């Protein structure tokens, strides 16, 4: 029995489909292998077939960039929040908001 991979990103599974599809593996066999590696609920057989067809048409495995407000979360902010939490275990959500607004103002 194989070990299953939990919490795989969608683009990871699409990459597996793309790879196996370029090796001329049938979509039903790709679905079987994905279920073995990522669990039965990773992706349906119909979605595997759809992605295989899309890759044959030249589709990319990566998600398209979406419009909207850019994220303020980055590695520097995560490090600052972790540091503050370790310094004071009573650190609150309000403190996180204050820290993120201070960080935002300093990066402008």
> What's the whole-model pTM score?
0.57
Domain boundaries, the chain: 10-56, 75-107
pLDDT: which is higher, 95 or 31: 31
Under CATH, what is the fold of the domain 10-56? Arc Repressor Mutant, subunit A (1.10.10)
For residue 105, pLDDT over 60 is answered with: no
Identify whether the C-beta of residue 17 lies closer than 8 Å to the C-beta of residue 33.
Answer: no
* Residues 6+ away with beta carbon under 8 Å from 76: 103
* Residues 6+ away with beta carbon under 8 Å from 10: 63
Average pLDDT of the residues of the chain: 82
DSSP string for residues in 7-74: S--HHHHHHHHHHHHHTT--HHHHHHHHHHHH-TTS--HHHHHHHHHHHHTT--SSPPP--SPPP---
3-state secondary structure of 52: helix
């Amino acid at each position: 029995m194989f070990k299953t991979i939990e919490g795989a990103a969608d683009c990871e599974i699409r990459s597996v489909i793309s790879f196996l599809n370029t090796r001329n593996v049938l979509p039903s066999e790709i679905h079987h292998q994905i279920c073995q590696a990522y669990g039965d609920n990773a992706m349906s057989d119909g979605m595997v077939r759809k992605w295989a067809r899309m890759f044959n048409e030249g589709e990319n495995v990566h998600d398209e960039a979406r419009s909207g407000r850019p994220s303020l979360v980055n590695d520097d902010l995560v490090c600052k929040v972790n540091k503050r939490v370790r310094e004071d275990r009573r650190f609150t959500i309000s403190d996180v908001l204050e820290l993120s607004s201070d960080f935002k103002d300093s990066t402008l």
